[in-house]
Each structure stands twice: as C-alpha cells, then as structure tokens.
Structure 1
Amino acid sequence: MAYLTFENYMDSLTQIVLGAAVGEAVLGKKVGNKAMLYGAIAGTIPDLDVFASYITDTVTALSIHRGFTHSIVFSVLFAPIFGWLVSRYEKYKDFKGWSWLFFWAFITHPILDAHTTWGTQLFWPHDIRLAFKTIFVIDPLYTIPLLVFLILAMFQNRTSKKRRLYNNLGLLISSSYLALTFLLKWVAFNQFEKALEVQNIDYLQLDTRPSPMNTVLWSANVETEDAYLLGNYSFFDSKPITFETYPKNHNLLGGLAEQEKVKRMIGISEGWFTIIEKQDGLYFNDLRFGLLSLAPQSQNFVFQYKITQDASGSVTFTEAPKNKRDGKKLLSELWKRVKGN
C-alpha cells in the first residue's frame, strides 16, 4: 500500500536516529557505538508491521498499522527476547542491560508516533489511538539536532563525559522542541476558533495539525452539519483565515454504509471523510491528512480510496495512485504559504 510505504520511508530516519540516541543513553558507556547500532535497529522494528500491507487487504493493513508493535505490551514482551538474543553472541553479556536498551528504544518509538496525525495504539489491546497531532511524521527541527549531536557523540571515547553530554543535549533539544509543538498547536487552534467565531460559522468539531515538515503552517478540519471546512493558518499571516467547503456526501454510500469494511474504514478515519463520485465509481477521502494541492476546491486528497463491490457483495478499498509531481508541487506551494497569506 502506498500510504504505509510512504509513511515508513519518511519516518525511518527519525526513528533510527532516536533509537540510536536512546541506545547510547542506556548502554553507550558500556559498549560504545554498538549501543547506537542496536538502538537504531530497535527503533525500526515496530514499523515492520508495514509488511502487513503486502499480505492482507487495505482496510486490515490500516487497522494493524501502529497497533500491537507500537504498544507497551510489545515493548515489555519483546525487549527481553531481543536482549537475550544479543547477549548470547555479543562480548558484553549483560542480559538486563541489553533488555533495557531494546525496551527504551521500542517504547520511545510509539511515544514519538503519538505526536503525529496517524497516532499509535500505545495501550493495545485497548482500542485507543493516541494522536496529539503536534508534529508531522518528519520534521527537520526535531531530527537534525538529534542527528548532529549523535554524530558528535559517536566520535568520542565511550567513557568520555563529552560523549554523554553531546547525546544528552541532542535528546534534550529535540524533546524540548516536541514539547513546544503543544504550545504552537494551542496558538493555532485559538486562531482557527476566533476565525470561525468572527465568520459566524456553527460547527460540531475542530481538528488541527501541522503541515508537512514544519510547525509554522497549520491546517484545520472543521465539521459542520453537512460539510467539512478546510483552512490553513501560518504564524506569519496578515490576512484573515479562509475556509474551503467540502460536502460530506455520506449519503452516496447508500447500502454500502452497512458493510463491515466500510464501517471499519470510517472508524479508521475517525469520521473525518467525504465521498465523491467519479466516472469509475465512488471514492473515500480521508480528510485527516489533507490535500496534495492548496488550489481552491481541489479534490486531490493525500489519501483517497476507490470503493468497489463485487458480485458477491464483498467490498474492497484500493488506494488511488499518487503522482510524484503532485508531492513536489505541494512542497513548493507550502513553502510559499508558510511565509504568510
């Protein structure tokens, strides 16, 4: 599935760097750069659930993603297993030390993911998806300081105070930025609330998230009775916030609304979806991730799925293909929009 592959590639570098920094914090003094290596490996393991997209249908793969492997249960159960395996062949035989390295690398992965739009089921098997929506799946302001200080630490002697200082600085700066994103989200949320009040718009829900690769430009989804309103706000804006209207069109589903897979897909989208009808059938748009274009009334949603039903009544969701040029164009549009309206 394109969604899971895209997200996994985008997210990998950040999780590798975070895992390496955590590994260094736990065992760097004992095993040197091997702590970074195993931390980096551990930091990627939870995302192996992406392979479910190759052996199951779209809806099931989306349900599985960031589920069990991103939970406290997984971290507790599998950290000792990996710790035991590594302690069997590494010169450093401390089973407890290796287990702690894997535990902290495993658990910090979903904690970071919980700050993104997709979120994570940290408390699996409870069906609670934590999604603070304060940071995009990759943000240079989070990753770069962590990476720079990790590299500086890498070239220090494993017992050096400088090594520990550099690594701790990277973790401190990146974690402080992560905390700051909650304040930035609060400010943006208030701006959207004020805009809706000034424009006398009655709404049911307001949901905000940062735009790709920054926390200066924020997007909002606003639910009204029959439609969703989509808007953007940059901290450098000088003009009022405007909203584009997208009819829900949920009625177009007709009897499909009672199908199990459709219900599951609605649950996955947390109810933030529209239905559009094209020449080749119905399409399900997940609004949580926005559009691939800032053009007014664009229907080019980041995650759009074609709904098909075979003769037996079975429903299938197929992700609509994306054009790489759309992604490049969007980044160009976002860069201009970040600087203000």
Structure 2
Amino acid sequence: MDSLTQIVLGAAIGEAVLGKKVGNKAILYGAIAGTIPDLDVFASHFTDTVSALAIHRGFTHSIIFSVLFAPILGWLVSRYETYKDFKGWSWLFFWALITHPILDAHTTWGTQLFWPLDIRLAFKTIFVIDPLYTVPFLVFLVLTMFQKRTSEKRRLYNGIGLTISTAYLALTFILKDIALTQFEDQLLTEDITYLQLDTRPSPLNTILWNANVDTKDSYLLGTYSFFDTKDISFEIYPKNHHLLGGLIEHEKIKRMIAISEGWYTINKIDDKLFYNDLRFGLMNLEANSQDFVFKYEIKVDSSGNVTFIEQEKTPRDGQQLMKDLWQRIKGN
C-alpha cells in the first residue's frame, strides 16, 4: 500500500499496543515502524531494475524481518524513552512491522511474507491506493490523537478505525469473487478456452475490476464494473514471446518473467524491443492501447548484457487515466 496508508496502520497498531501507557508516542513509533519495510525501495539506487524489483517487498516484508528487528528497535527505544519496558516496545514494533506486509499481501504486487521461500503472497483484492480504506482510518486516528492517554474515547476511536478498515478489507474478497464470477460466466458464454484467469481492482476503487485471461497465443484483457448493463468485452493482446528469440534463455529475462508471474507481452517498435507487465494494466482505456503501466525497453549491449529501462509516465498520463476510469466505473 501507499506510504500514508502504512503510516496510518502502523500508528493505529502502535496505539492499540502501548497507547494507554505512553499516549501519542505509541502512535509516533507505530507510524515510523509502519514505514520501515518500504525502505527496500532504496535498492533501486544501487542495483539494476530487475534486481530492485526482485528485492522489493522481499526480506523487509517477511516474518523473519519482523521477528529479528522488533527486539532491536524495542531495545533502542527503551534505552532513551522514559517508559523502559523493553518487552512492550518490542511488541509494538513487531505488530507494526508485521501488519505492513500482511496489508501489502492484499495488493497486486503482493509480498514475500515467507522469505526466504520463493513464495509471493498476493490476494489482489485492493489497489495500492484506496481512499475508502485509508480516509476513514485516518479520520479516527486523528480523533484518537486528541484524546487523553487514559480516555475510553481514545480506545473507542482507534478501535473503530481498525474495525472499519479491516471490515472493508474483508469485503474486498467478496467483491473480487463477484467480479471473478462475472468474468468466468462471460468466458463460458463466448466458449473461450483459457489457461488462467487473473482479476484485480482498478486504481483507487473496488467497483471496477480488471481481468487478464491467458490463452494459447494471446492474452485477453477485460473490465467489469458493478454498474455495467452490457456484456463484458475482451481485447486481444498477442503474446509475441517469440520476439525475444534467444534472449528468452538470458538469466535476467528469466528473472523478469518470474517477477511478472508470466503475465507479459513483447512489442517491437522501430527496432526497439519492449517488455510489458500485464499485471498492472494500462495507462488508458483506449482500444488496443499498448501504453502499459509497467513497460520496459529491453536493451542488449555488445557484450550481451541485458538492461531493462522503465518507460517514464507523465502527470498528463495519470490525469487521462483518472478521467477514463471515472467514465468506466459508471458502467458500459
């Protein structure tokens, strides 16, 4: 999830663990702990694109990381804070650290919660930014902060925030199941044979859902809104995996394919080779658009070294996507 959401979650967890004993300091340290796992993004400054993607949401988002670093952070804080309970601070950091990857596991990218096992947990029920999850949570956290440390209202407000956010997260599973059923029924109606079906919510909401359908030679991409009145339609995207040629055996290409879980297409434009990660959809809803959210140019130097260069997105791209999504959410 986005940084603000993780800060709010961490702060609320900190309050639940130690708020009654240390007041707003529990919120402060919980918020700090809620951001720590995402420090792995700095790996992009020290390594190549593929390695950075592999590292992201890996070790720092694991159970092992939470278990190892919670007592270290708890010991450090207990050394200089007035409240000296090492165990209490350690529990605060553990729960604030571990709930971060648990929440991230609900997104499309997922987390390697069980690192070092090569298992990425991704429920794909909520977009990385979802105001319906974050805003109510934030409101009740702010209300909590303005109550006295021993006030019952403080416990009540924080409890309501945690309950509403958790309930919404549970609701997303039901919404995903409804959307999945709609996609499956449409594929059955059109007698389309497919290998895999992958669904996820579109940006900023859980009303409009996207589907990737894996067929023999192509992928079908479709959308479904709970306000739709017409049948779902699918657009065809040829896989074009053959365009990789011998590069398909290159270690870096293999790693990128593994990261994208096999959901990718290849395009060749003006003698340039592009890798499209289908898991995160398109930057616009135009028919047959090739403007994928995560699109990389594949460059090969004279020594055979492969480099992935992510294609930049502009604010205008984001604005157009928001307009397209708003129109599509209202129904087809």
Q: What CA distance in whole angstroms lies between the structure 2 residues aligned with 1:175 and 1:321?
A: 35
Q: What CA distance in whole angstroms lies between the structure 1 residues aligned with 2:221 and 2:117?
A: 31
220, 236, 258: which one pairs with 1:267? 258
The TM-score with structure 2 as length reference comes to 0.99
Q: Residues 30-59 of structure 1, C-alpha deviation per residue, up to 9 Å, x if partnerless?
A: 000010000000000000000000000000
What secondary structure is seen at the aligned counterpart in 2 of 1:130? Answer: coil
Q: How does 1:127-138 map to 2 (within 5 A)?
A: 127-138=118-129
Q: How does 1:53-132 map to 2 (within 5 A)?
A: 53-132=44-123
What secondary structure is seen at the aligned counterpart in 2 of 1:274? Answer: strand
Residue type of the alignment partner of 1:43? G
Q: Residues 158-196 of structure 1, C-alpha deviation per residue, up to 9 Å, x if partnerless?
A: 111110010011000000000010000000000000011
In the alignment, structure 1 residue 190 sits paired with structure 2 residue 181: yes
Query: Which is further off, 142-151 or 106-115?
Result: 142-151
Q: What CA distance in whole angstroms lies between the structure 2 residues aligned with 1:243 and 1:68?
A: 37
Shift of 1:319: 0.5
In the alignment, structure 1 residue 241 sits paired with structure 2 residue 226: no
Q: What CA distance in whole angstroms lies between the structure 2 residues aligned with 1:324 and 1:278?
A: 24
Shift of 1:143: 0.5
17, 25, 36: which one pairs with 1:26? 17
In the alignment, structure 1 residue 210 sits paired with structure 2 residue 201: yes
Q: How does 1:325-340 map to 2 (within 5 A)?
A: 325-340=316-331
Q: What CA distance in whole angstroms lies between the structure 1 residues aligned with 2:297 and 2:84?
A: 53
Q: How does 1:218-229 map to 2 (within 5 A)?
A: 218-229=209-220
Question: Partner of 1:5 in structure 2?
Answer: none
In the alignment, structure 1 residue 278 sits paired with structure 2 residue 278: no
- Corresponding residue pairs, total: 332
What secondary structure is seen at the aligned counterpart in 2 of 1:229? Answer: strand
Q: How does 1:136-155 map to 2 (within 5 A)?
A: 136-155=127-146
Question: Partner of 2:302 in structure 1?
Answer: 311
Shift of 1:200: 1.3
192, 200, 211: which one pairs with 2:191? 200
What secondary structure is seen at the aligned counterpart in 1 of 2:121? Answer: coil
In the alignment, structure 1 residue 323 sits paired with structure 2 residue 314: yes
What secondary structure is seen at the aligned counterpart in 2 of 1:127? Answer: coil
Unmatched tracts of structure 1, length 5 or more: 1-9
Shift of 1:73: 0.1
Residue type of the alignment partner of 2:59? F
Residue type of the alignment partner of 1:135? I
Residue type of the alignment partner of 1:79? A
Residue type of the alignment partner of 1:318? I
Shift of 1:280: 4.5
Shift of 1:199: 1.0
Unmatched tracts of structure 2, length 5 or more: none
RMSD: 0.6
Query: Which is further off, 261-270 or 193-202?
Result: 193-202
Q: What CA distance in whole angstroms lies between the structure 2 residues aligned with 1:97 and 1:323?
A: 45
Question: Partner of 2:246 in structure 1?
Answer: 255
Residue type of the alignment partner of 1:129? R
Q: Residues 102-136 of structure 1, C-alpha deviation per residue, up to 9 Å, x if partnerless?
A: 00000000000000000000000000000000000
User: Which stretches of structure 1, 4 residues or longer, exceed 2 Å deviation after superposition?
Assistant: none
Identity value in percent: 75
In the alignment, structure 1 residue 37 sits paired with structure 2 residue 14: no
Q: Residues 256-306 of structure 1, C-alpha deviation per residue, up to 9 Å, x if partnerless?
A: 000000000000000000000011410000000000010000000000011
What secondary structure is seen at the aligned counterpart in 2 of 1:184? Answer: helix
Q: Residues 46-101 of structure 1, C-alpha deviation per residue, up to 9 Å, x if partnerless?
A: 00000000000000000000000000000000000000000111111100000000
What secondary structure is seen at the aligned counterpart in 1 of 2:277? Answer: strand
Q: What CA distance in whole angstroms lies between the structure 1 residues aligned with 2:181 and 2:320?
A: 29
